[in-house]
Amino acid sequence: MQDNQKRDFIDRVGEGTIISSSVEFLIENRVENCERGIFIGSNCLLYPRNRIVLGDMEINSTANFVAGDHVKINAGGYFSGEGGLIIGDYVLIGPNVCILSAGHEYRDIERFIMEQPLTYGRIQIERDVWIGASSIILPGVKIGQGAVIGAGSVVCKDVPSYAVVVGNPGKVIKYRGHRKRGNIFHTGYSFLRCFLGETS
């Protein structure tokens, strides 16, 4: 697909944004002058071999892909905006990340899974998040501001702001900028000493 054809799939792109020529957009029945579509902010960088999927926009009323300003997306990612995907400013996404806002219904054992309806869940990634290489974000998840997702993690539930999440399924192991003592998270050592009644 030529660069000018790719631009036809993007509803808005900001100044200073660089999109590799190998980035793919999968959209059917794109709706012109709609509040939904592909919107990419300023000073973003989309590395090669990424794929952004919205599917059939006439059938799917939730399809949407929005990336804020200063978003960096490394190579080889898969980004499903079919259920809605919102990426905040200054988000850093490592290589081979899959963000999936759509899945398949599977509970009817009398029908092939591929013949069952798609399911959707909006994904919101707030500003200043780092998603490590080869992580998977599943439908309906919200990742709070400043969170870090460790490489290879599978995130299937909401992540609090500034949390560091690792593993499959992803679990919070600590919080950025805080030390932990018991159940108390703090940033000021002298405050903690006073709180605990320590004098030495």
Cα 161-54-49 angle, rounded to 5 deg? 80
Which residues are bridge partners to 154 per DSSP?
136
Burial 13-27 (b: 16+ CB within 10 A, else e): beeebebeeebebeb
CB 69 within 8 A of CB 43: yes
70 catalytic residue (yes or no): no
Residue 12: CB atoms within 10 A of its CB come to 10
d(C-alpha 186, C-alpha 179), whole Å:
6
Alpha-carbon torsion (14, 45, 138, 58), positive or negative: positive
Closest CA to 37 of 62, 73, 15: 62
d(C-alpha 69, C-alpha 29), whole Å:
27
Active site residues: 104
